[in-house]
Amino acid sequence: MTQAIMLQGTASDVGKSVLVAGLCRIFHQDGLRVAPFKSQNMALNSGITPAGHEMGRAQIFQAQAAGITPDVRMNPILLKPTSDRKAQVVLMGKVATDMDAVHYHDYKPRLREHVRQAWQSLAQEYDVLVLEGAGSPAEINLRDRDIVNMGMAEMATCPVLLVADIDRGGVFAAIYGTLALLQAHERWRVKGVIINKFRGDVALLTPGIRQIEALTGVPVVGVMPWLEVDLEEEDGVALQRVHPLRTGEREITIAVVQLPHIANFTDFNALAAQPDVHVRYVRSVAQLEGADLLILPGSKNTLADLCWLRESGLANAVLKAHRAGVPVFGICGGYQMLGETLIDEVESGLGQLPGLGLLDTQTRFAHTKTTTQVTASFADTLPGWLAACGGLTLHGYEIHMGETTLQGDAAPPLWLHKAGGRVAEGAISDDGLVFGTYLHGLFDNDEFTRALINSLRQRKGLPALDSALNYARYKAQQFDLLADAMRQHLDIERIYQIMQQHQEPVC
């Protein structure tokens, strides 16, 4: 019979996603068939399964930690915010509708059966499922229709571990307050607490741990230190933090514009992992100074972000940098912004707007979203500094609602390999300084990324680095480091016992 454990948090960004990945890795190392599960994820970082379904990136990297292929059943509902009040609802990997928070709350009971079916289907195939909650179970205003925290734990009849972030302060109040706001049958389900992101001597915490255990009756199963492991972050707040493994002198600086609705910033993890690259997320003109490459990333509201780009002065700064010879990349929404014209009556409703005019393209938004994994090849001959990338093969994925067409004599830099022949993809300027593509995940391709960075090094008079980073192996190493740390600092045997001995109460 499938065993399960669920991690819920005292708040968002307490580290649930990473700890779920770590448990998946531990169970996988222990020879169990394990899968992650998050019934409802709100994120602008998403990916595409081999079957062409869209799902949250967090569950994708958790599946990778578990040594399995990502499956949309692991994240049946994905909410992609398009504004402060509205989100696109992706159900079982396909767009279902767009709605505001109030209407979505009313809509959730209709989604419960989809969640149940996805859960039960996975439970028939795996030995262990590791569930992740969202936000906090103490959001009592949402409890009556909850399908992601205690409502999901009840549906799965599984025990819960509560994760609390000590780095933000007030950890004991957060633990006590969360448990106090739960109903009695919900508190019964919480079998342990994990204190996360601790810096310092854990002995100083001992008196507080003993008191919180006495006050709540819930044991603390471990204190996780602040870890220096390089893993994907789910929340955009992570872009404001400097990762300790990415500090120090780096010879190449790549500036990624942090758009208000930035999507799929995980595209740049492989760049940031390179030993000679500093990835800088920028929101002001001054921060562009000194960049060797500028990147306009994906966006969930392209035209609104294009307006912000102009209002912030960054649009003119990008054009000025381009005139000074700095290469400019655009991915997905960023690619669309680099063109001459964007026409959107679907996503933002802003109609027609001029783009930055660096590529001779026109984009028209459509109701149908393209979601697919792809293999592509660069043209044999590429202009300018990108010449070293000519002929290389890429693997990536597409997630977009716009269709971009080349105007005039513009030539595509890429060809997609699809049934029936090759399909042109992307656009490049005559001098090679401006490049746009719909391909997400292109920097996960080791040979291409090293060729690209070495071309930037050559432009600065620096010698090339011979060997390319094996990014897949690098990620696997980070998963193992995470698992090792969790085995050291958590009572994993106790967690196994919690799963094995869990019995639902007889009503």
| Catalytic annotation, residues | 332, 440
Token digits for 420? 């029936």
What sign has the CA pseudo-torsion 430, 433, 436, 437? positive
Of 48, 113, 122, 116, whose CA–CA distance to 78 is shortest? Answer: 48
**Phi-psi region at 284: left, alpha or beta (left = phi > 0; alpha = psi -120 to 50):** beta
- The secondary element (H helix, E strand) that includes residue 207 is helix 206-216
Of 186, 187, 185, 204, whose CA–CA distance to 195 is shortest? Answer: 204
Of 3, 275, 7, whose CA–CA distance to 132 is shortest? Answer: 7
Of 456, 438, 238, whose CA–CA distance to 334 is shortest? Answer: 438
Token digits for 496? 């196994």
For residue 262, list its beta bridge partners.
299
CA distance 263 to 301: 9
Token digits for 435? 């490049």
CA distance 208 to 214: 10
For residue 354, list its beta bridge partners.
341
DSSP 241-279: S--GGG-S--SEEEEEE--TTEE-GGGGHHHHTSTTEEE
Instruction: Please report, in angstroms and rounded to a whole number, the separation of the first and last CA atoms in the chain.
Output: 22
CA distance 274 to 156: 41
What sign has the CA pseudo-torsion 479, 481, 484, 490? negative
Let me know: does 259 contact 309? Beta carbons within 8 Å: yes
Let me know: does 62 contact 24? Beta carbons within 8 Å: yes
CA distance 383 to 95: 38
Give the Cα-Cα-Cα angle 86, 18, 137 (nearest 5 degrees). 55
Please identify which residue in the block is written with the tokens 């001597």.
201
Q: Which amino acid is at 53?
A: H
DSSP assigned state of 445: -
For residue 299, list its beta bridge partners.
262
Token digits for 163? 């994760």
Let me know: does 282 contact 260? Beta carbons within 8 Å: no
Token digits for 160? 């819960």
